[in-house]
Amino acid sequence: MARPFDSNDRTAGYDFSDFAQEFLRRNSAYRQQYARIAGASGFDAQSPACRRMARSWGLEFPD
């Protein structure tokens, strides 16, 4: 049974980006891909591999 929304829930103040971050943090496919990219590039946000990964998940990293 789904739990009803509770305004005292820790997510009550979340905006869309907070929910997106929580989704990715818990997504095993994203975490595996992130670990692979970070290992290969040291997570250089400007690397082509990192940019491709970010785009595939709908992310943007400011320059």
Is residue 44 within 8 A of residue 50, CB to CB? The reply is yes
Per-residue confidence at 42, pLDDT binned at 50, 70, 90? confident
Which of helix, strand or coil describes residue 58?
coil
b/e per residue 6-24 (b: at least 16 CB within 10 A): eeeeeeeeeeeeeeeeeee
Q: Per-residue pLDDT for 13 more than 80?
A: yes
Tokens (6 digits) for 39: 């290992």
Whole-number average pLDDT of the chain: 82
Domain borders along the chain are 20-56
Per-residue confidence at 8, pLDDT binned at 50, 70, 90? low
Q: How far is CA 6 from CA 12, 14, 20, 60, in A?
A: 8, 13, 20, 31
